[in-house]
Each structure stands twice: as structure tokens, then as C-alpha cells.
Chains A and B, each alone.
Chain A
């Protein structure tokens, strides 16, 4: 394959990179991982915004309560 081919491939999208640049698959992994990381970052910012971390004593014990009704109804 000659140079012109590479450019052609490149424009065809990054999934052809593995054929062209050595270890370029890392770029794919990078993009994948970083976009995931950004997702989690956004999730984190969201959770701060809506006060998920305002109270870090209650949630731990809140899950211990059964929300069963006083008169347990089975269906």
C-alpha cells in the first residue's frame, strides 16, 4: 500500500487505523475510555448538583428500614 492509500483509509474512519498506524488501536481505546470517563464526570457533576452528597449519614442507615406496610399484604 502506498501513502495515498493511507489517507484514503483515514478518511474512511478510525476503525481502519489498526491497519495503518502501529498501536493506533490505542487511540480507539483512548476515545472509548475517555468518553466513558466524561460520562461519569457528567454523572458526578449531576449528582453534586442535585445534592446527592449533601447528607452522608442518612442514606447508609435509610436502606436498613423495611418499607413493608404495617399490615403485610401478600398478593
Chain B
């Protein structure tokens, strides 16, 4: 592939000699890589959305998981999120970047081989991710579920992409770096850092690891990452694409170039710190929560700067929008971006968050962003690029317009019910009878919003059907066109302009002190910290709760099953200090309770009830039966069956390694405990088995269900009663 391209290059260099002065270089844009990523985008958009639809349907038809582990909601939902974020949007971004970067830099990509390594690397990561997630190989951290080998692969591929991108920027022929390129750079740098910091985990075995951080700390890092993943994987790159493709599609310069630059710098600074707003009312220190709020509020300004800049670009070109589907998609996308970025800060206000958090409101919010902003932007880019890559026109604007309408209607039918559901359920949770009793059982609140779940899946289906229109339309377009693998272009090489050469000497004098100051400041920031740390350590005291003890081996194994089945996707483990939550679940959660939780399992959504105080609520047999058939215990429940837990045997061989890992992480198991851990494990297992026996349930004590029950019965029992903190009245 790459060889072919280069040979073409050389061949034409000679041609150049004869035709025009050698100084004006003739070169070729690599369209093949764009095509590849484009195809991947289309494929994974369908896959990711199908997964989403399947998960959505399970919320009112749990039976369709067919009692088969890989198809349960807990495993499909991570697949959906990962497929959409990293496969669909990821590939769309790469396609757009590879297309626009070459043209903005007036240069072919730095190295074709790197491009292809990037492509195939990324696709294999996606496939590996899909398989491992379905097999339940997960770290149990939302949006970072992938296990350590895949994490490493991601890092490698990402760095390759970086080399390729910066290489291209270095060998560019256009002096000015267009604002879109700034967004790409920001994306690359930040995502690299986020991924690495958040993925620090200690491997136990191949495809099994524990997060380095525990409890509150893990939560903070996770949402610092989680939020910035949204910011720098789903927002900044797409903004960059907007700044290239919108002006091109509308054929008019962006409304204000100055604004675009200013809002870029503001955006990247503010985003980094908004993370904690995902943890309001949790055990995170108040000041850290408030920090998140403040920065989230401030985020409105730059976000809307981007939106307005986008919309104003179309000022006076609305006639174009009327007949150009690409622009239609972009307009709605940008509008959705505006809505989402306005709603986000709103949701980060404590009072709003108290209602919205853990409900489907959040789901609606992210899907405005996902379906509207990212999805539509990706579609627009595909509709723009494909005809140009194949040197033809779009097969049918009519089809594209239909796609647009289906998509838009889909979004509405999806979002509205979700908002409604979230709001209604939250109010039901918080309503009390005059006697001061909780008005509704949790299950009632779930069954009452089932209709909305049905509507939502319909909305999703409509949106998906639109995507099929696109597939057909693009297929036809490609058929009628002829692909330009290497698109010829010419530009003069970039040469040092004299102004720099000349001013260099007196400039360096002016620059030196400043550069030194900047460097010195970085040194002060980092070096100073490292120095100071030991001194602070002595002063510092740990507010651990004496009664909080490490998990027993069996509980630890049970917890890993809890992770494997992705229970955190529907069950939170974080009781906020609200009257209703305390009444419903028990004593609110304390920071000290989670010091041994690698990773934390606070969750972000309560499709099922909170489990932070599950321990001891029900007899072992209840859990056994509930796992076998949830509806037998709680009629109307939408939880899938987990029958295989009853049959599958617990893999006790892994216990020592897990104990050792935990010790490395500072969990105070006695020295050499890993050797004897399994003995304790069997003891506890037998006792539970015996316990079940009393209730006429015979099960081998090495069944996975035993471990899970052990864990369930343990959750939240360490602290009996803590001094009551003032409960926030609603």
C-alpha cells in the first residue's frame, strides 16, 4: 500500500521537473487511510447502535438476554458505550482528522505505514474490547472498563497516531496552524495523559487487574478521567472537525476566527477541573465537589463561544442549509452541543443534581450529546467526504435528508421520555406518606417508567434506521464514483521567513527571561511538590474507620464476580445524605468505608436499588433465588437472570495472586496470608452453603453464587452507627 504510494510520488516528482519549477512541490493526499477509517466509522456506528438498542430493550424485556451471560445488560451496556465512544466517534474523528489535517498542512500524512498501523491497531483494539467485555473481562470503571493489556495497546496506538500527526504538522507546507489543528493537538495530549493516569492498575493475571487507587480516590480519578474523556474525546476533536468541515461545507469563512482561538484556550483550561461534579453529595470532600461545580459553571462561556461561532458562520447562508444535508446535520449537531453544554453545568448544581443524579435524566443528557452532537457531526462528515473521495456527487440528497429527519425525530423520541422518566422516578423516590413513610417501593418506581423505556427504544430504533439510509446512500455514491487513492495537490515548501531570521537576535534577549521564568515555574510546581511531600506525610492523619476491615478472600472473589457481571451499571453503592435515601437504604456512605475498594463501585445510575447497605438485608436464600430468577422474589423486576452463577465453579486458584495484589496496594492482610487465603475461603463458603441448606437449597460450596452472596452480605456492614451528619432536607 505505502510502497505503491511512494513510487507514485517519485514518478511524479520527475514529471514535476519537466512541467513546473521544482520549488513548487507537487504531492498527494492519502485518501486510502481516510476511506478505511470512514468504512470503520460506518460499520461501528451500526454495531454500537445495535448494542445500544439491544440493551435498551432489555430494560423492559429482560428475558431477551436468553439467560446467556454475554447478552446480559451488565455486559452489553459497556459494550455499547465503548463501541460508540471509541469505535464510532473514535473512527469518525480519525477519518476527519486524516482528511482535514493533510489539507490544512498541505502535506501527505507523515508516514503511511504509521497510518496503517494506527488503523489496524485501533480496529483490533476495538475487536479485543468487544470480546473481552462480553466475556466479562472488565476493570469495573465506567468508560475505562478495558483490561490492562488493551490499555497498553491503546497507549501504543495512541502514541503512533501522535507521531504521525506531529510529523505531518512538522513537515507542513502552510505556515499558519489552523484552529482545528489546535483542537486535534489538545485532544491528543490530554487523552494520552488521562488514559495513563486513570489506567494505573496492578495486574493480577492476564485480563485481570485492580485499580491502583481505592474508594474516594479512585472515584475522583475515575471521574476526572470520565468527564475529560467526554471533554477531550467527544468534544474537542469534534469541535476541531466542525471548524474545518463547517466552513468548507458552507463555503464561507468561520464567523470569528479570533473567537475560535480564544474559546479554544479557555475551553482546554476549564475542562480539566470540572470532573468532580459527577460526585456531588458523595463521600468526596465538600471543597472538591464545589471546585467541580465552579468550573462546570464557568465552562458555559467557552462552550457557547464555540456553538455561537458555529451557528453564526451560517448567518446569511440559511438558504444553503435548506438544500444541503451536510449543513442540516451540522446545524442540529451544533444546537445539540449548545443544549448539552448548557444542561451540563445545570446538572452540576447541587440542587439539580440531587434530583437528576442516578436517574435517566443523565442518560437523556448524554444522548443529546451522543446522538445529536457526535452522531450527527460524524454523519455530516461522512456525507461531506465520501463524494469528494470518490470524485462524484452524493447519490441522493433526498435520502440524506430523510436520514436527517429520522435522526432528529429519533433524538426527540429518545430524549423526551428519558427526561420525563428521570424526573418522575426521582420524585417518586423522594416522596413520603404523611406518616413519614416512603411512599413507593423501589420496584414501583421502576415499573412506572417502563413505558418510557419502551418509547426510548423506539426512538433509538428510528435513529438507527436513519443510519441504514446512510449506509445505502453512501454505498450507491461509492458505486457511481471512482476512488482517488492519492489526490494530487501542489504547494510551495514552508521556508523560514527572514523576519524570524532577522529578529532572532534581539528577540532572544526578550524571550530568554520569560522562557526561564516559565521553566522555573514548572520546576517550582512539580519539584517543589515532591520535596514537600515527606514533610506533609508526617503531619497528615488518616481518617480511616477502625471497624472497616479488608474483604475476606471469598468476598473478594464475590466482588470480582460483581464486577464481571457489570452490576455497577444498574446498582449504585453510594447513599447520599438525603432523608429518602437514608430511609430507603440506611446510613449514608462515609469516605472511610471504601478504603479497600479497588476499584470503587459507586456507580452512576440506579436502574436497580442502591446496594451500599445490602449486607444482612435479606437471607442468603433470598439472594440465591433472586439470582436464579429475580421475578420470583420481586415480581416485575427487570433484572436479568444469572443462573450460570449457580452452576459455574469459583476459580479459587486466583485467590493468592489477588491477595498479593491487594497487599501491594496496601491492604493490610497479614504477611503470607496469600498462602492460607483459600482455607479461609472454603470455611466461609461452607458456612454459607450450610446456611442455604437450612432453606432447602443444596448447592456446592464452590459455586460462584456462594462467593457473590458472601460479598452481597458484606457490603456496608462494617460501620454499625456513625455520628449522624446533618441530613440534607429535600
Contacts of A73 in B (CB 8 A): 12, 488
Contacts of A60 in B (CB 8 A): 247, 253-254, 257
A68 to B391, CA, bound (A): 12
- Which listed residue (B257, B489, B525) contacts A38, Cβ 8 A? B525
Contacts of B533 in A (CB 8 A): 10, 14, 17, 27
How many residues does chain B have at the interface if contact means C-beta atoms less than 8 Å apart? 80
Contacts A18-B214, A53-B261, A60-B247: A35 and B526 contacting too (C-beta < 8 A)? yes
User: What's the minimum C-beta distance from B704 to chain A, rounded to whole angstroms?
Assistant: 30
A59 to B243, CA, bound (A): 12
B490 touches A69 (CB 8 A): yes
A12 to B482, CA, bound (A): 61
Closest to A55 in B: B176
Contacts of A57 in B (CB 8 A): 257
Contacts of B269 in A (CB 8 A): 37, 40
Contacts of A30 in B (CB 8 A): 529
- Which listed residue (B186, B251, B666) contacts A40, Cβ 8 A? B186
- What are the interface flags for B477-494 relative to A under an 8 Å C-beta threshold, 1 for contact and 0 otherwise? 000001011111111000
State which residues 490-520 of B face A: CB under 8 Å. Answer: 490-491, 499-500, 507, 511, 514-515, 518
User: What's the minimum C-beta distance from B88 to chain A, rounded to whole angstroms?
Assistant: 26
State which residues 516-557 of B face A: CB under 8 Å. Answer: 518, 521-522, 525-526, 529-530, 533-534, 536-538, 540, 542-543
A31 touches B518 (CB 8 A): no
Closest to A20 in B: B537
Contacts of A28 in B (CB 8 A): 197, 221
B530 touches A67 (CB 8 A): no
Contacts of A68 in B (CB 8 A): 487-489
State which residues 51-70 of B face A: CB under 8 Å. Answer: none
A38 touches B522 (CB 8 A): yes
A75 touches B272 (CB 8 A): no
- Which listed residue (A43, A58, A63, A72) contacts B247, Cβ 8 A? A63
Contacts A1-B668, A21-B540: A10 and B176 contacting too (C-beta < 8 A)? no
Contacts of A49 in B (CB 8 A): 507, 511
B525 touches A34 (CB 8 A): yes
User: What's the minimum C-beta distance from B227 to chain A, rounded to whole angstroms?
Assistant: 12
User: What's the minimum C-beta distance from A26 to chain B, rounded to whole angstroms?
Assistant: 7
- Which listed residue (A23, A38, A47) contacts B177, Cβ 8 A? A47
- Which listed residue (B213, B247, B526) contacts A64, Cβ 8 A? B247
Q: Is the interface of B mostly helix, strand, loop or mixed?
A: helix
A6 to B537, CA, bound (A): 7
Closest to B275 in A: A29
Closest to A47 in B: B177
A16 touches B534 (CB 8 A): no
State which residues 132-190 of B face A: CB under 8 Å. Answer: 174-179, 185-186, 189-190
Contacts of B529 in A (CB 8 A): 14, 27, 30-31
User: What's the minimum C-beta distance from A72 to chain B, rounded to whole angstroms?
Assistant: 7
A7 to B179, CA, bound (A): 47
B220 touches A23 (CB 8 A): yes
Instruction: Choose among A27, A28, A49, A62 the residue with the greatest number of B CB atoms under 10 Å from its CB.
Output: A28
User: What's the minimum C-beta distance from A50 to chain B, rounded to whole angstroms?
Assistant: 7
A68 to B329, CA, bound (A): 27
A62 to B491, CA, bound (A): 13
- Which listed residue (A20, A36, A59) contacts B540, Cβ 8 A? A20
Interface flag for B677 (CB, 8 Å)? no
Supplied contacts A47-B177, A59-B179, 19 more A-B pairs, CB within 8 Å? A3-B538, A7-B537, A21-B537, A23-B217, A23-B285, A29-B220, A33-B273, A38-B521, A55-B176, A57-B257, A58-B176, A59-B176, A64-B247, A64-B252, A67-B490, A69-B488, A74-B482, A74-B488, A75-B488
Query: Could you tell me which A residues sit within 8 Å of B by CB distance?
Result: 1, 3, 6-7, 9-11, 14-45, 47, 49-53, 55-64, 67-69, 72-75
Query: Could you tell me which B residues sit within 8 Å of A by CB distance?
Result: 8, 12, 26, 28, 103-104, 106, 174-179, 185-186, 189-190, 193, 197, 200, 212-214, 216-217, 220-221, 224, 244, 247-248, 251-254, 257-258, 261, 265, 268-269, 272-273, 285, 288, 391, 482, 484-491, 499-500, 507, 511, 514-515, 518, 521-522, 525-526, 529-530, 533-534, 536-538, 540, 542-543, 591, 665-666, 668
Q: List 15 A-B contacts (CB under 8 A).
A: A6-B537, A19-B665, A20-B540, A22-B543, A23-B288, A31-B526, A38-B522, A40-B186, A40-B268, A50-B175, A59-B178, A60-B257, A67-B103, A67-B106, A69-B490
Which 6 interchain pairs have the tightest Cβ spacing?
A60-B253, A19-B666, A25-B217, A60-B257, A61-B253, A73-B488
